[in-house]
Structure 1
């Protein structure tokens, strides 16, 4: 047997590795750190498309394609094509009849000409009067029958997609079969309304009339949806015509259905469809800008597709309360954009589900929130970016995956004791087991030994982060949060013996928990209360008297508020003398605690420069003026430098 291999086209690549939702979380993290909520960050991600997935379209890409497709449909043609064609055939038949009557000198010929002269201008009324007219011209009779066949096909095709082909043959049996189909369809819908319909009834119906429904619905619900959308499109087509055109075409439709013996059945069907699907736009006009006349069936098909595209556009925008990807109908996507768009949509839905199922997002009281696991991931990403910058700049520490709590190995070992964190000395442990048991190694607790390491001092770390509104105005807010996350992650992963505390301050100061850092928003209040932040940091250092103190301050403004004795915040700008004196007094207390304060200044304000210079003079710490993009790099490298010195 011969085999031929080629590119797989039936959906997503089944051998492709599963998508790593952590990359999606990282993309969301940038928006969240900038102040976006998790739900908006997720929506923005799904609109842009997923990072790392080749050829994957986001919602915005699909939306652009839907709008392009809608423009093409609107420019396809005019809706009055059937009226125009019917008028042309009517004029042709009348002209052929007049040509037959003109040579005849009889009174009968003159009476017939007078009858033709008195025909109403309205196309529908003229056709109605000519229905009983006895044509003298065989060509005129044939043209008029062609007109009636055209109307019969177009009118029924506007209600049932595909009946145009079924009625192309003028066999009366074909029309009788359509009548039977409509009767049984109405009976089935009424039985369903009474709760008496079964799937077996529908299967029997489709076995008899399935060829009349090219979309091949699988159940009654799908059939109702298809028929209702087409019936609503027919109503919209009529609403889109001028009043005169609407009246003419409505009369033509009514005449055609009456002559075909379908008027009552079609009325029953229309009422049931409108009752079942009142949500469809039944009478909304649609503007078509094309020049080519379209037949009635083609015009209804175009309007049906336009309705699908309008509804699809609304779902793809996802800009309404409670919007979810599940609101986007896959059948509409497939009809409008093809199978590949369905695969893209499923990929987006999968990421949304995976973020929740893998524990990165949770819904609490209907609100989407980051989990602690997601915050840890964002911290790891922030730290990784910092280390990447440090490596690129050839300075500072770099990412060491084997770093831990232990110091440098001394070369000695000792028996393991409960609670030891030093690494296991594997060689000595195995030797102990062999000595005790002989050739067979069966380890016991007493066999284990640990490698001795140098003692590494612990540090009490305080990061004071400005939360004032000016941080958001200057575009430094996201960088400050990312820096705090990076430092928190660094201490937790490489220096777990350290005690880290992050304090945010605006008009008041407060301790920030790691889990709230990512979603933290700035405070729209007046005041930069560094005095209160230093008070909280001082209490943290006092709780760890044997730890090495590390104090880092990130701010873009001088102190403009202080804490009163009654616990209230006092704000004044320019800063009052009392605010500066109380803040500097806390700086002096930090100096007596042997805590070096390094300040990271995010603005070039002269008053801020004077203040931080005074802090450096009193405390001996350093002042940095990094850009927002390099803030994390400066803070982390400075912390690592201090830890290396103290170790």
Structure 2
């Protein structure tokens, strides 16, 4: 070994890997996550919801947040059942819920109550902690307006006080019975020295040497073996706060009685004064600890102060983990989960599971599929939207290919003059194939998959859909398309939200990939109308505001048509209800059900304006309402339009057919579609 290598060898130090992800672990597999998220988004969920659902469910070989939360709940239940917690907690929660409900009723009907006092009381009730025990502590000192609510709350304090007083007393008394005079003197001396050290910290004059001297003298009392005063403070404050939570539901009289009993058991008022002094120092130095709240115990095994403090620390960990894993609060993310607490309560394996989920979420963002917007909400990127749109369009193609009389239709020729360029075939293409490039693509792919010249000569070349290239053409007829989709209350309630979004995404993908010269405007109309990007519409949650403002939607559609005077206007309207709102001249929205005659008149006027602009109109009527059918039929006749009443599963196919038929001079619906897929490979090619 050279001198340099020996020097490097002596300088090297090796130890256990203690932090961060496993450096030898394989990279996370995104394929399963992308497939699951894509399925949920196509099923109508927002991208943020879809990702959260996958993180909750996990994958085939990956535990999710729900599994971790279940294990947290199981451990909490186990502690409660072991330490007298389960039955009393349920009783406390019932009493607390009843007290809060009665108080809300009283606040609502007490007309003489000052508005400021009412607002403060309601704010207190609205912001109660999720933990029943913490809520009991929060309501301590609350000025109850309801006599019944006050009585229910007093029953909670009485229940907690009696049980916690008995447990605290039994534990402290047993500890004193086992102590010698020397033990008590050592405790007194340690507490005096510790308080002196903490008070130095409050004054900002403590040193590391002060701490080292203290640990050298009293280190046997601290098995955690802290390395500095901050570590000691954190440990002691957590335990002291947990012990305090055991006492918080007691009345002042009960606490005073317990302290008197403890003083008698310890046999030293000086010791109790030192303990009070210590509690004050710890709370002053660590005010951020949870010094409030309580958790009643009602199991088979009682615990004293020492064991009870440990149990309450575990319960605090588990309550915090349950909230963190639920990810139900605004702005929540996986970084909020305390990995140390998770490992401490569920083991290292649980910590590894959570790290993997965090890496998966990060990898999804880094892959360009999902990203968070400025508002913190997750969004699918254009790359992801293209992937989802292609999948939906493929479903539409397969549905169309199975229809009688359309699968085998072929038209030679193209939509215009050939440009000399070629491109990969996309659904809806009518251009002729470039046979040379198509076959070349198939040969290159076959060789890349392990084929040889001999095997190709023997077996021939088998085409797949990805091999096909078509010849580009120019001078295509341009269309100006407005897709109006109903986003009213009934669409969400009657299960039509999902097909609407799938339809919009399929049409958007078709136009953006196949008919790039066409101008598509997506217009969502509920109580009011709004033009949306496809990413916005796909991520749109169900709307529950009543109102169908077709008038506003048609105003936006006609504005879109006027921006493209040289294109063929195509108006596609997907709705399940009559117009019930319109936009007034002031810009305010008017709503009336049953529909007001003015609303109907304004909607018809804008529809006729679309006709004068040359728009070919197709209504897609959802639902079986006879009144809606009569109304839409009348409107369609006024503008020489078409009405299609598809099943929900066929809505996407119907809209795509109508669009293709309209832009080729057909009448919309199925009639205009026939013959529109001259260059489309049949279903057999999809299978490869």
Q: Which residue of 2 aligns with 1:299?
A: 308
Does the C-alpha gap of structure 1 residues 210 and 557 become closer, same or farther in structure 2, counting only changes over 3 Å?
Answer: same
Q: Which residue of 1 aligns with 2:281?
A: 272
Q: Which residue of 2 aligns with 1:466?
A: 486
Does the C-alpha gap of structure 1 residues 282 and 475 become closer, same or farther in structure 2, counting only changes over 3 Å?
Answer: same
The match for 2:27 among 17, 41, 57 is 17
Q: Is the 8 A contact 1:228 1:277 kept in 2?
A: yes
Q: Is the 8 A contact 1:469 1:525 kept in 2?
A: yes
Q: Which residue of 2 aligns with 1:109?
A: none
Q: Is the 8 A contact 2:172 2:305 kept in 1?
A: no
Q: Which residue of 2 aligns with 1:106?
A: none
Where does the alignment leave 5 or more consecutive residues of structure 1 unmatched? 1-9, 80-146, 156-169, 414-421, 427-449
1:252 offset after TM fit, Å?
A: 5.8
* Aligned mates of 2:333, 2:646 — CA distance in 1: 41
* Aligned mates of 1:612, 1:622 — CA distance in 2: 10
Q: Is the 8 A contact 1:24 1:51 kept in 2?
A: no
Matches within 5 A, 1:540-619: 540-560=560-580, 595-614=615-634
Does the C-alpha gap of structure 1 residues 489 and 66 become closer, same or farther in structure 2, counting only changes over 3 Å?
Answer: same
- In the alignment, does 2:512 pair up with 1:492? yes
1:395 offset after TM fit, Å?
A: 3.5
Q: Which residue of 2 aligns with 1:403?
A: 426
The match for 1:49 among 41, 52, 56 is 56
Q: Which residue of 1 aligns with 2:79?
A: 73
Once the two structures are overlaid, the 10-residue window that deviates more, 233-242 or 265-274, is 233-242
Q: Secondary structure at the match of 2:521?
A: strand
Once the two structures are overlaid, the 10-residue window that deviates more, 498-507 or 381-390, is 381-390
* Aligned mates of 1:410, 1:148 — CA distance in 2: 89
Q: Is the 8 A contact 2:393 2:427 kept in 1?
A: no
* Aligned mates of 1:521, 1:149 — CA distance in 2: 59
Q: Is the 8 A contact 2:392 2:505 kept in 1?
A: no
Q: Is the 8 A contact 1:468 1:526 kept in 2?
A: yes
* Aligned mates of 1:65, 1:451 — CA distance in 2: 56
1:568 offset after TM fit, Å?
A: 7.9
1:457 offset after TM fit, Å?
A: 3.7
1:530 offset after TM fit, Å?
A: 3.6
Does the C-alpha gap of structure 1 residues 212 and 22 become closer, same or farther in structure 2, counting only changes over 3 Å?
Answer: farther
* Aligned mates of 1:490, 1:265 — CA distance in 2: 78
Matches within 5 A, 1:160-239: 182-197=191-206, 202=211, 212-217=221-226, 219-237=228-246
* Aligned mates of 1:214, 1:388 — CA distance in 2: 65
* Aligned mates of 1:470, 1:297 — CA distance in 2: 59
Q: TM-score, normalised by structure 2?
A: 0.59
Does the C-alpha gap of structure 1 residues 194 and 526 become closer, same or farther in structure 2, counting only changes over 3 Å?
Answer: closer
When the two structures are aligned, how many residues end up with a matched partner?
514
Q: Which residue of 2 aligns with 1:151?
A: 175
Q: TM-score, normalised by structure 1?
A: 0.62
Q: Is the 8 A contact 2:616 2:662 kept in 1?
A: no
Does the C-alpha gap of structure 1 residues 187 and 475 become closer, same or farther in structure 2, counting only changes over 3 Å?
Answer: same
Does the C-alpha gap of structure 1 residues 584 and 302 become closer, same or farther in structure 2, counting only changes over 3 Å?
Answer: closer
Q: Is the 8 A contact 2:21 2:355 kept in 1?
A: no
* Aligned mates of 1:622, 1:14 — CA distance in 2: 62
The match for 1:341 among 320, 343, 350 is 350
Q: Secondary structure at the match of 1:271?
A: helix
- In the alignment, does 2:394 pair up with 1:387? yes
1:388 offset after TM fit, Å?
A: 3.3
1:463 offset after TM fit, Å?
A: 0.8
Q: Secondary structure at the match of 2:483?
A: strand
The match for 1:374 among 344, 368, 381 is 381
